[in-house]
Amino acid sequence: MAKLVGAFAASHGPVIAREWDQLTPATRDKVNDAFDEMGKRLKALKPDVLVILSPDHWVNFFIDNLPSFCIGIGEEHDGPPEPFMKAVFPHDTLPGHPALGRHILECALGADFDPALSHRLKLDHGFCVPLWRMGLDPIPAIVPITVNELEPPLPTIKRCLAWGRMLRDAIASFPGDQRVVILGTGGLSHSIGEPTMGEIDEPFDHTCIDLFSSGSDAEIAATLEHRLLSTGNGGHEVRNWVIAHAAAGGQGFDLIDYAPLPEVHVGCGFAEWRMEA
């Protein structure tokens, strides 16, 4: 059977790619050091497949067709369409893993979820900034999963915890000896297209870190549903961290680094959930 060997989460601000050369050396060093450490840890796990959770930034879906979860089941997926990403991450296509993608889809349906599916997703900066900055070469096969974190109604935190547990069970029941790593991207606090754009809610970020370190599922769900009402809209991307946390069994959280970085408009967090041997 396949084995979930690791779970990670990382921020993915587009400014990291679009304005990299304009960032101060201190900010570039902070981002580089965190992604380098995360990349080193991820590469050491020798994954065959990455299951990546990210919002879709209006490149595949819009408000006329916006699924809560969409699983990519294609043989390959398109690389990032944004011009600023093409300049630093020139991948026209990225490899998929249709067998695992379809297995996750079937397990989700069996667990009373109703996800959408796609035979070919466009993987935007949310998926690809971490892949680029971690320096993965070659890039493993990817099962991309988009999570609606942009426009209400959003999946509840409780639902995301259940989705993470479903992913864990699906991976464990997949036939074969694949080594699988889950990567949740996005967050922590930031605000896009709002009057508060550029502000970072450090208390919210530290609450998230504390919850992943020692909170119960009930505490995570109740606290985040309440706190997300009063932080920037980009904070909703913490759902991908919640999914990774649940997939890891709700334990083993190890903060690689956290820094509020006004230059990239994001409270940048980087973390690993260390799996049991």
pLDDT at 192: 79
- By annotation, the residues acting in catalysis are 125, 190
DSSP class of residue 21 equals G
Q: What are the structural domains of the chain?
A: 3-273 (3.40.830.10)
Residue 204: which of 181, 177, 238 has the closest Cα?
A: 238
Angle, vertex CA 57, rays to CA 53 and CA 61, nearest 5: 95
What is the three-class DSSP state of 180?
strand
Confidence of residue 9 (pLDDT cuts 50, 70, 90): very high
Which is higher by pLDDT, 14 or 248? 248
What string of DSSP letters covers 215-234? --HHHHHHHHHHHTTSS-GG
Residue 262: count of CB within 10 angstroms of its CB: 11
Tens of pLDDT, residue by residue over 157-174, are 999 999 999 999 999 999
pLDDT at 199: 87
pTM, two decimals, is 0.96
Q: How far apart are CA 185 and CA 191, in angstroms?
A: 16
Tens of pLDDT, residue by residue over 223-243, are 999 999 999 888 899 999 999
Q: What tokens appear for 34 in the block?
A: 């965190």
Q: How far apart are CA 55 and CA 246, in angstroms?
A: 18
Q: What residues form DSSP beta bridges with 69?
A: 147
CB-based contacts of 231, cutoff 8 Å, min separation 6:
189, 201, 204
The pLDDT mean for the chain works out to: 95
Tens of pLDDT, residue by residue over 141-157, are 999 999 999 999 999 99
Angle, vertex CA 255, rays to CA 249 and CA 256, nearest 5: 125
What is the three-class DSSP state of 130?
helix
